[in-house]
Structure 1
Amino acid sequence: MSFLLPFKERYEKKSLSPIAMTITVFLSVILMIVSEDFLSIVFIYVLTSLFFLLLGASFLRTIKLVSAAALLIFFLGLPSLFLENGLERAGFIWMRGILSASLITLYSSTITMQEFAQSLRSLFFPNLIVTIIVLILRYTPLLYQQGAEIRTAQELRGISQSNRKRRFNAVVSLLGGTLIRSVYRGGEIYEAMLVRGLESIKIVRRGSIKPLDPFIMVIFTVVLSLLSGGILSCIMK
């Protein structure tokens, strides 16, 4: 079963719980976003990356997925170029986006989808929100695959060699067809969940913490907080 993120297919026993790993990635991403110091952002990323690599994260899969998201991150930073110190602002946005996407991908490659959902519930995310997140992660790749299949069929019919108007109509048809399929699929999923008792049961149960979790989380919180405060830059000056 494919997901938008590279979750593990099988459960593997670890010394830390998925809850601790989820808190770690949330904390790291938030601190990278709010930090204005270049060195602090880099060191937060390096430290957290090593943490997940020691837990069995897949670095090669991370590179592939982040490279696919790089174009979207690039467009997100483009508007900043028109502001004061635009190049510096855009550079920080691009760096934060790439590094955050990399950390999230590394994190997801250490746990299963079920563990991810349980950790969100343990952090008091509403059951409905968790369900929506899981559905998005599950069915976005399917919609992309359907769109790619439609695009391939159009190219086989010579759409790419047609005039501009016909190519435009083909793109509109592609977007419309994908949207209709997504709405139809979403309706089917919702009806199936209602039949299974979506409104009366908890789809995902909360996970449990492990003895080592509090110790690791305290250390990580202190170290990352110091890094985000620009302590490294002060020391190196």
Structure 2
Amino acid sequence: MSDQPLLLCRKLSGGYANRRVLHDLDLTVRDGECVVVIGPNGHGKTTLLRAISGLLPDIGGDVSLAGINLRAKSPDAIVAAGVVHIPQGDLLFPDMTVIENLLMGAYLTRDRQEINRRLEEVFTLLPKLKERQKQLASTLSGGERRMVGIGRGLMSGGRLLLIDEPSLGLAPIVIEQIYKLLDQLRRSGRSIMLVEETANRALPLADEIYLLDGGRFAWHGNPTELASRTELINTYLGA
């Protein structure tokens, strides 16, 4: 893991219309690191990911990836720079097959060999998708659709995965499968920024933790430091 930041946000702010949601956020993700952002529902976690990936047009502050300023870039250009946003929910193309949905993740890539390499990697990580590759996305279970969403993100070949509440709406056994996959990605050296409302699955993956409350970071540090902060655990983790 490098000491140099991969993602650097400084004084990041933004919102919707006349409503400001994010307030002067400083955040760093280093290469090979898993950063977990937790906090109550409706307090800006999804908005934070949208601001980084260029889906929130009205933002203030600075966002950079490996020293490249992302502020003035379009969402497509941010994907090309290496930021991959895997949103909450399914957001698949229901009338397309699994493999067609996966290939949409590589839409910026023209190198067929590279696309095939990424597809093989996805099928190795998610062998069930290989079995289901010709099946329409609309016929998949909720867990299978979530796996296609993650696989499509991996097909982009990005340097940083922004993953928004991957456990949302899933049964406990499926959540366990999703988090086994995320642990594999983390162990393989992937750089991940993971957003969750419930922390029990996400925190064991974390190198750094940010607690987002009311659009501001109430605290950030590593898991060891959090373990000694009883008041934060009681307030934010429901313990």
TM-score w.r.t. the length of structure 2 is: 0.28
Higher helix share: 1
Name the structure, 1 or 2, with higher relative contact order (CA <8 Å, separation 6+). 1
Instruction: Give TM-score scaled by structure 1 length.
Output: 0.29
- Structure with the bigger percentage of strand: 2
